[in-house]
Copies of this chain bind each other. A is one copy, B any other.
């Protein structure tokens, strides 16, 4: 197992509000994201809040996926943290579609770094790659190049 991890931090806006309050629907979509990025599920916990909101976390052999939803705002906060040579981005992109989001905001943080860890060197701020990306979800097919952020 490599200690290099890719951690995607994604915010989804304008999602289907009813869907965000349905733990079964959320679980299905999170497991579909797991399939898309080809990870191995080893455990899960899903919880529905009162009066609304869902938290779901899936432990995978390669780290974890998590989601927290605010149906009243059409907003969901998602993390996909994978180690090894996997690419978590297709999972984020799939969730943008299946949560019926209007837009998503995504950043990627590289964690661990195998060589540094094995040499007991500290991670320094410049070792972290931070990328911010704001993109429409539904409108991608209509105007692929409009609305992108940094």
Residues of A within 8 A of B (CB): 1, 3, 5, 7, 9, 11, 13-14, 42-47, 49, 53, 55, 57, 59, 61, 63-64, 66, 68, 70, 73-75, 77, 79, 81, 83, 102-103, 105, 107, 109, 111-112, 117-118, 120, 122-125, 128, 130, 132, 134, 149-150
Q: Is A68's CB under 8 angstroms from B63's CB? A: yes
Is the beta-carbon distance between A43 and B43 smaller than 8 angstroms? no
- In the complex, the answer to whether B55 meets A57 with C-beta atoms within 8 Å is no
Cβ–Cβ contact B45 & A9, under 8 A: no
Tell me whether A3 and B75 are in contact in the complex, defined as CB-CB below 8 angstroms, given that A83-B68, A132-B128 are known contacts.
yes
CB–CB A7/B5 < 8 A: no
Whether A120 lies near B66 (C-beta < 8 A) is no
* Residues of chain B within 8 A of A83, CB atoms compared: 68
Residue of B nearest to A104 (CB): B122
